[in-house]
Amino acid sequence: MPTEPLFRPISGATESFIDVEFDGRRLAVLGQRSVAAALLAAGVSRFRSTPVSGAPRAPYCMMGVCFECLLEIDGVANRQACLVPVQPGMKIRSQEGARSWEAIHTASGGSNENTTEDSHAA
C-alpha cells in the first residue's frame, strides 16, 4: 500500500496549512484548494467505499464528473470533494457503503414524520 502522497504542491508556491477534522482526527492540510486536493496532498487515499462491494474509492477526475470523491462535509453527505474549497475547521467524514434512509433524512433536516401532509391538515 502506498504511503507517499501522489500529489505534491508546486515548489515555490505559497503554502499555508489549515486544520480540518477527517474521520474524527485532526489533520493539517494545505489551504486554498479543494477538499479533495487538500486530503490527497495530506496522504488520504481512501475517501469512500462502494455501496455494492465495499471497494475503496478516491478522487479520479478532479473536475466534478466521476463522483468518486463523495464525502460527508460539515454534516452534508454526498458532497463532491473536488468541487468544495477547503476551509479551516471543516468536519469531513468518509462515506462507507450505502447510506440508510434515516441518515439521509436526518442530514436533510427532516423528521421521521410526514410533515407535508401535516402542514396541509386543517
Contacts to ligand FES by CB under 6 A: 36, 59-62, 64-69, 80, 82
User: Hey, is 82 helix, strand or coil?
Assistant: helix
The distance of closest approach from Cβ of residue 83 to ligand FES in the complex, given in angstroms and rounded to an integer, is 7
Shorter beta-carbon distance to ligand FES: residue 61 or 76:
61
66 or 77: CB nearest ligand FES: 66
Q: What residues pair up with 17 in beta bridges, in sequence order?
A: 30
| Structure-block grid coordinates of residue 42 | 495530506
Q: Cβ closer to ligand FES: 41 or 106?
A: 41
Sign for the CA dihedral angle at 37, 41, 44, 49 comes to positive
Q: Please state the closest distance from residue 114 (CB atom) to ligand FES, in A.
A: 33
Beta-bridged to residue 25, according to DSSP, are 22
